[in-house]
A = this chain, B = another copy of it.
């Protein structure tokens, strides 16, 4: 099938660009010895997770037990729930997966640890529980080294559970390089303190799991880090480009749209809006715009209705024609894929494969 045969809007993944991105991360992690555990929240596509494993990833990370079910079904044998599980029904789902799949869970409370361990113990299984520490993002994570050691010791005594190490998420580090330095020092201070307190209590620390796409290529600067969980690196997006973490040429995913109206002066309307791109904003700079119009850098995709993309062409000299197609690099690739049931793998004008976004909608 050829690109022009697809109806729009359609999510396209340039397979050559994606392979280059995958290869770069595989090479970096192999060279530096940090284990790669990609977070599948970005793509939710079993075939992509399998490709990541084939290129050396030790397993995957997921946020939801139902996502883990899809990936386990696809043959992924090591899945970390990088999310506190506090409901018995969810823990029971994970315990069932443990028949075929090594499961670990990160969490920050006795309640979560007790909940998950109880289900695994009842199922006659064992789960690795990692203590999440807050390294400055202020979302989840225990607040002190003493609290980390206390929770680690609590986990170590639970039937059905093994203390699996330390987990953190540096979600606040998607900032310019000069601003990263003090944040990195604070992350390392907190990780080292927790590491020291836990080892002082007599527990070995098998894993220190951190990472994110923006920080992935600085992994060797993080104290004690053994694995990273980047999600976006195979595809990239406008936010990563705006932050200096990727170039437009690294963006494997574009949304192909069609111009449906040029009736309003200085405006062009596309057949994709917030239900195609998501409403996720640009995280840096002026926060303006919802994507890059590849054919016209003077055009601004300034607004989204649910099914309309509003482009301002007042600074552009390009002419636009109803029915023509425009490819857009979206602000946030994870949120965009999550809007779609399928995506198309392309090379040039050829559609080489169609992938179901199989774990999309698995909100529980």
A341 at the A/B interface (Cβ < 8 Å)? yes
Q: For A265, give its contact among B143, B258, B341 (CB under 8 Å).
A: B143
List the interface of chain A (C-beta within 8 A of B): 7-10, 41, 63-64, 83-87, 89-90, 108-109, 111-112, 115, 132, 134, 138-143, 171, 258-265, 267, 269, 271-272, 274-276, 278-281, 305-308, 310, 322-323, 334-335, 338-341, 360-361, 363-364
Inter-subunit contact A86/B322 (CB<8 Å): yes
User: Which residues from B are CB-within-8-Å of A360?
Assistant: 361
Knowing A83-B260, A87-B323, A306-B41 touch, does A275 contact B143 (C-beta < 8 A)? no
Q: A7-B364, A308-B140, A334-B306 are in contact. Are A322 and B111 (CB under 8 A)?
A: yes
Q: How far is the CB of A215 from chain B (nearest CB, A)?
A: 16
Which residue of chain B has its CB nearest to the CB of A67?
Answer: B307
Q: Which residues of B contact A63 (CB under 8 A)?
A: 306-307
Find chain B residues with CB under 8 A from A138 CB.
Answer: 264, 267
Q: What separation, in Å, do the CA atoms of A267 and B109 have in the docked complex?
A: 14
B41, B262, B363: the one contacting A276 at CB < 8 Å is: B363
Q: Chain B's nearest CB lies how many Å from the CB of A203?
A: 20
Docked-complex contact A90 and B7, CB < 8 angstroms: yes
Residues of B within 8 A of A132 (CB): 263
Q: List chain B residues, Cβ under 8 A from A278.
A: 274, 278-279
Tell which of A142, A263, A272 has the most Cβ of chain B within 10 Å: A263
Complex interface: chain B residues within 8 A of A83 (CB): 260, 271, 307
Is A87 within 8 A of B7, CB to CB?
yes
Q: Find out whether the CB atom of B280 lies under 8 angstroms from the CB atom of A139.
A: no
Q: How far is the CA of A85 from the CA of B171 in the complex (A)?
A: 41
Question: Complex formed: what's the CA distance from A262 to B109 in Å?
Answer: 8
A261-B259 Cα distance, complex, nearest whole Å: 45
18 contacts between A and B (CB under 8 A): A83-B307, A84-B260, A86-B258, A111-B322, A112-B322, A132-B263, A134-B263, A134-B264, A138-B267, A139-B305, A139-B308, A139-B310, A140-B263, A140-B264, A275-B335, A278-B278, A279-B280, A340-B363
